[in-house]
Structure 1
Amino acid sequence: MLSYTARTGPAASPLFGPLESLYALVYAEPPYNEGPEQVARFREGLPEEAIRPGFTLIAAEEGGHLIGAAYGWTMPAGTWWSRAEQEPSREMLDAAKFAVMEWIVHPERRGEGVGSELMRRLLADRLEDWATLASDPRSPARAMYDRAGWRQVATSVLPWGPPMDLLVLPLPVVDV
């Protein structure tokens, strides 16, 4: 049976091994074509990401296997992507943002709504004003973001890989 769980902070660490395996599988596909070096970089960065403020990981599991995951953390007001070529609007820059760092689904489970449910749960009840993510413009996921209402506000160039589209999505206001 398919189940979804939310983990925050270091409580997510038991999922790091399965998450690394899923990452390696998904990002070995074109257009990414990532190998052991990129997977190692991902693995090494997970503990630091997990202690960032607002870190949340949503996992989709079935039969004890991780079939999808989405996670991110709070990007504080006044900050933006470190290698962005443009800044967003002042309104966006001055607001807290939820940075979606990964959103992956096992290739054999795509098209079943797992990814949509992961993102719905990840962004539900967030206190930030905006969600933001970086997307490879060559990826099939890029068109999906457009259909879901994400809009591009900048690009970013990392020392590795292609330039990335930086996208944003306004989040619903939550009364606290």
Structure 2
Amino acid sequence: MAIAYARHTSLTSASVEALADLYAVVYAEPPYEEGPNEVAGFRDGLPEQAEREGFTLHTAHQGDVLTGAAYGWTMPAGAWWRNADRNPPTDLHAADKLAVMEWIVHPRFRRRGVGAELMRRLLDGRPEPVATLAANPESAARGMYERAGWMQVAKSTLPWGTPMDVLVLRLSADSLDG
């Protein structure tokens, strides 16, 4: 059965539950090893994230099964990751940025292009000239980001978790020139 993709700009209670279920499977794996408390925090935070300016969610389904998702929202000019150890270069800091908050694919559907297609759909056509995300330096995704051209500009340390690499990707070559 083929994978179907969809774009969403809001969430329903059913989509929140499906996303939380997928999150639970993905983040139970090393190096994350998250449990019920982290999943509940993710679930509880989703509605607020969906209210942010520029929120966009792309999902992948096989039949009725959610196989992957990627979402983000606009981080406005002058804003940056709260716990980052430094600001990005001035031109990036002064621009609106797409904050990629999650990019998750069910383990059974990895290495089939689902993740790459979700990220392509999330990044394509965005009005922001740059995207940013925080990645666990021990995760497999971290290497994929680097190979795709994402560059580390900072570290972010949360009191309850692993220090994360803060990465940026310019989405258009000329959009920060003037």
Query: Normalising by the residue count of structure 1, what TM-score does the alignment of the two structures yield?
Result: 0.95
Q: How does 1:72-151 map to 2 (within 5 A)?
A: 72-151=72-151
Contact 1:12 1:57 in 2 (8 A): no
Partner of 1:172: 172
- Aligned twin of 1:16: 16
2: distance between equivalents of 1:67 and 1:16? 14
Q: Does 1:160 find its partner at 2:160?
A: yes
Give the match's secondary structure for 1:80.
Answer: coil
Letter paired with 1:117:
E
Amino acid at match of 2:3: L
Deviates more, 1:12-21 or 1:139-148: 12-21
1:66-87 alpha-carbon deviations (Å, 9 max, x no partner):
0000000000000000111111
1:173 Cα deviation from its structure 2 partner? 6.4
Deviation of 1:141 after TM superposition, in Å, equals 0.7
Unmatched tracts of structure 1, length 5 or more: none
- Structure 1 stretches of 4+ moved >3 Å: 11-14
| Distance of 1:132 and 1:160 partners within structure 2 | 21
TM-score, normalised via structure 2 length = 0.94
Q: CA-to-partner distance for each residue in 1:4-58, whole Å, 9 max, x for gaps? A: 00000x3455411110000000000000000011101101100000000000000
AA paired with 1:18? A
SS in 2 for 1:78: coil
How do residues 15-54 of structure 1 correspond to structure 2 at under 5 angstroms? 15-54=15-54
Q: Matched residues in 2 for 1:143 and 1:173: separation?
A: 23
Structure 2 gaps, min length 5:
none
Taking only aligned residues, the RMSD between alpha carbons, in angstroms, comes to 1.4
Structure 2 CA distance, aligned partners of 1:174 and 1:166? Answer: 22
Residue 174 of structure 1: how far off its partner (Å):
9.3
Q: Offset of 1:172 from its aligned partner?
A: 2.2
Distance 2:35 2:95 in 1: 36
